[in-house]
Amino acid sequence: MATSTIYTLNNFYENLKNDRLSSTDAKKVNDSVRIDATNLTWKTRSLYYVFFEETVEVTDVDINLGLHFVGCTFNKGIVFNNVKNTGLPKADEDNNEGVYFLNCKAQYISFQNGCDIKRGVGIYGKCEIQQLVLLQSKIDNGGIKIKESSISILFDISNCIFPVRIDNSEINTFRVETLTGDITLINTKFSDWVKFWNIECPNSLTLNNNTFKQDFDVRASRLKGFFIHGDTFHRKGKFENRDDSGNNFDTFLNEIYITEANFIEGFEFDGMSRKLKKLTLRMSPNFQGVLRIIGWKIHETWITGINQNLKLILKRIDFKRIMINDFSNFGVISFDECNADNNNFSSEDDPDSSFHVSNSSLSNTRFSEFDFDSFDFISFTNASLDGIEASNVRWFSEDKLQINGDRPQNEIGFRRSREIYRQIKQSLKSKGNQIDSLIFQAREMRAYRNELKKSGNYGLSDKIIMTVSQSNSYGVNWLKPLGWIIIITFFTYIICLPMFSENMVYDSSADFVSCEKFYNEFIIKLPAFAQMFNPVRKFSITYGENATTALYFLDLLHRAILGILIFQLIRAFRRLSNK
Give the pLDDT of residue 126: 94
Q: What angle do CA 555, 559, 564 make, to 5 degrees?
A: 155
- 99 three-state secondary structure: strand
Q: In this structure, are residues 184 and 226 in contact, taking their beta carbons and an 8 Å threshold?
A: no
In whole angstroms, give the CA distance from residue 118 to residue 102. 19
Give the pLDDT of residue 230: 97
Residues 44-60: what's their mean pLDDT? Answer: 95
Does residue 300 register a pLDDT over 80? yes
Rounded to the nearest 10°, the torsion over CA 226, 230, 231, 235 is: 110
In percent, the amount of the chain with pLDDT more than 70 equals 91
Residues 518-530: what's their mean pLDDT? Answer: 79
Higher pLDDT, 1 or 91: 91
Give the pLDDT of residue 2: 60
Give the pLDDT of residue 465: 67
Give the pLDDT of residue 468: 63
Give the pLDDT of residue 578: 52
Domain spans of the chain, in order of start = 1-181, 201-407, 479-574
Does residue 542 register a pLDDT over 70? yes
576 φ, ψ to 5°?
-110, 15
In whole angstroms, give the CA distance from residue 346 to residue 318. 13
Give the residue among 147, 190, 142 at the shortest CA–CA distance from 167. Answer: 147
Q: Which positions ≥6 away from 151 have C-beta within 8 Å?
A: 129, 130, 131, 132, 169, 170, 171, 172
Backbone CA torsion sign across 245, 249, 252, 256: negative
Q: Which CATH class is domain 1-181?
A: mainly beta
Give the pLDDT of residue 423: 92
In whole angstroms, give the CA distance from residue 481 to residue 394. 26
Q: Using one digit for the tens of pLDDT, what is the confidence trace for 325-346?
A: 999 999 999 999 999 999 999 8
Give 192: exposed, middle or buried? Use CB within 10 Å, 0-12, 13-18, 19+: middle
Higher pLDDT, 101 or 568: 101
Give the pLDDT of residue 530: 84
Residues 147-153: what's their mean pLDDT? Answer: 97
Give the pLDDT of residue 1: 40
Residues 501-522: what's their mean pLDDT? Answer: 68
Range among 85-89, 275-279, 483-487 with highest mean pLDDT value:
275-279
Give the pLDDT of residue 306: 96
C-alpha Rg value of the chain to the nearest Å: 40
Higher pLDDT, 148 or 544: 148
Confidence of residue 31 (pLDDT cuts 50, 70, 90): very high
Residues 413-433: what's their mean pLDDT? Answer: 89
Does residue 131 register a pLDDT over 80? yes
Higher pLDDT, 337 or 472: 337
CA 151 to the chain's CA centroid: 35
Q: Using one digit for the tens of pLDDT, what is the confidence trace for 197-253?
A: 999 999 999 999 999 999 999 999 999 999 999 999 999 999 999 988 878 889 999
Residues 167-173: what's their mean pLDDT? Answer: 98
Least confident piece of the model among 53-57, 236-240, 496-500, 513-517: 513-517
Higher pLDDT, 143 or 528: 143
Q: In this structure, are residues 61 and 37 in contact, taking their beta carbons and an 8 Å threshold?
A: yes
Give the residue among 334, 328, 327 at the shortest CA–CA distance from 311. Answer: 334
In whole angstroms, give the CA distance from residue 138 to residue 79. 15
Give the pLDDT of residue 534: 82
Q: State which amino acid sits at residue 320.
A: K
Give the residue among 170, 123, 126 at the shortest CA–CA distance from 151. Answer: 170
Q: What angle do CA 362, 366, 371 make, to 5 degrees?
A: 100
- 239 three-state secondary structure: strand
- 153 three-state secondary structure: strand
Give the pLDDT of residue 467: 67
Does residue 91 register a pLDDT over 60? no
In percent, the amount of the chain with pLDDT more than 90 equals 60
What's the whole-number average pLDDT of the chain?
89
